[in-house]
Structure 1
Amino acid sequence: MTHGTGGPLVLLHTSPVHVPVFDALRDRHHPGLGLRHLVHEGLLDRARAEGPEAVADEVGGVLARAVAEGAGAVLCTCSTLGAVAEARAEELGVPVLRVDRPMAAAAMRSGRPVVIVAALPSTVRPTLDLLREESADTDGTTFVGSLLVPEAWERFEAGDRDGYLDAVAAAVDGIAPAEGAEAPVVVLAQASMADAAARVRTPLTVLSSPGTGLAAAAEAAGYRPE
């Protein structure tokens, strides 16, 4: 793995709700890791309306400024923008990671069917593409389905975090394998969904991205526990 230059790990967010989540994960699992947060809500708004490629240059500009200011590595916490962020790594000269790649890799390694749960339509295609990339190490036959929960995003935008997480958890609890079919792995496609995993009652495996994504980025940035 390519490692960072020793500067802080910069996190690119499209919502401020992610800042305390990742700070808490850092304090719990990576004490001493230098984090810097950049919040650009407008990037997601445009990507939803025009597609992720429409904001690729703007994302590249944000990341280039972060590197110029000393970033040792960058983690994009937005699943919709993850691919366009990752694509800038070579030109920037530092690791650029998407938060959901380790989660996707774990899902595909399971060898079981995968169900993507997303609150935004713009998240589904990038997540499907990512899972297909990660299936390169498997036989490529894993079934992947998706479940969209638009009512959850309405609550998120209204600032009702509990309502958002409860709606996601209820959707996950409603997933049931067909009779005789193998139980699927559930992928929570958006980082903001992570806490819904603690609210589900289902026995299914439910994967979220913040913890494993931050761990991978910390390693890429050259973090070493004190």
Structure 2
Amino acid sequence: MAVVHTGPVSVQPIKEQISEQIPDARVINIVDDSLLSDVRAAGHVTPEVASRIHSYMANAQGMRVDIILNACSSVGEAVDSVRNFISTPIVKIDEAMAEEASFIGSHIGVIATVSTTLEPTVRLVKKKAGELRRAVEVTVRIAEGAFEALLSGDGARHDEIVKSAISILATQVDVVVLAQVSMARLVPQLERVCVPVLSSPRSGVAALKRALGNLPKVSAPSSNR
């Protein structure tokens, strides 16, 4: 399988989940840390970013991988168009999480440390809720300064900012969605939060595993005796 990342912070969390859930997988990580920087600078996915995402996934298909995982919610909508041109199955890391949130409650909180992730995640949550015929209301929050702290190496500061923002948001909603893979490491520290807190690596890799299981089996060639 190939995993397409827009920065280094998503590599380890997803690697850990794949090792746990699909231990025999061979993983090719494709990392371009300029993608998220360009999206943040523009405030949205640009045609150039979408083109590079398409190129990386086409390259992954050229490597003959069985499946591709998109690791970044900020570029998830660009991946939707890539699916029209790439025959290799593509799983988005956050689709299963958005679906699960829609099952849990009608008032969903979405929290991010990068503003460009918020709107795509909200649209995805509403899309999944619509597919399930569930009416939802979404409240959003930005954990200001957390992502910058993480990039500067101050993980403790990042965690403090995000946990504080989650605690406040949890009092207003039925379930909290962590919009970025980089926030998932906080889940074990959130046991006292009054509502469920969902992160994408575990459910996203579980969806990846299910998709792998649904792929057509390739029969070994029979030998003539």
Bin the TM-score by the shorter chain.
0.7 to 0.9
Q: What's the secondary structure of 2:85's corresponding residue?
A: helix
Aligned residue pairs total 212
SS at match of 2:8: coil
Q: Helix, strand or coil for the counterpart of 2:69?
A: strand
Ranges in structure 1 where 5+ consecutive residues have no aligned partner? 1-8
**SS of structure 2 residue aligned to 1:174:** helix
Report matched runs for 1:22-41 at 5 Å. 22-41=14-33
Matched residue type, 2:193: T
1:150 aligns with 2:144: yes
Are residues 176 and 47 of structure 1, via their aligned partners in 2, closer, same or farther at CA, if it must alter by over 3 Å? closer
Inter-partner Cα distance in structure 1 for 2:127 and 2:101: 12
Is residue 113 of structure 1 aligned with residue 107 of structure 2?
A: yes
Given that 2:21 and 2:205 are in contact with CA atoms closer than 8 Å, whether structure 1 keeps it comes out as no
Cα deviation digits, residues 7-56 of structure 1 (max 9, x gap): xx111112223222222212222210221111111011111222214311
Q: Tell me what 2:222 maps to.
A: none
Report 1 or 2 for greater relative contact order, CA contacts < 8 Å, sequence distance ≥ 6: 1
Residue in 1 that maps onto 2:59: 65
Q: C-alpha displacement at 1:223, in angstroms?
A: 8.1
Which has the larger Rg? 2
> In structure 2, how many angstroms separate the alpha carbons of the residues matched to 1:116 and 1:41?
24
User: Aligned with 2:111: secondary structure?
Assistant: strand
Deviation at 1:68, TM superposition (A): 0.6
Q: Percent identity?
A: 27
SS at match of 1:116: strand
Q: Secondary structure at the match of 2:193?
A: coil
**3-state SS of the aligned residue for 2:84?**
helix
- Secondary structure at the counterpart of residue 163 of structure 2: helix
Q: Determine whether 1:220 maps to 2:211.
A: yes
Q: Deviations over 1:196-221 (max 9, x none)?
A: 12222312110000011112123323
Shift of 1:140: 4.4
Structure 2: gaps spanning 5 or more residues: 216-225
Q: Is the 8 A contact 1:121 1:148 kept in 2?
A: yes
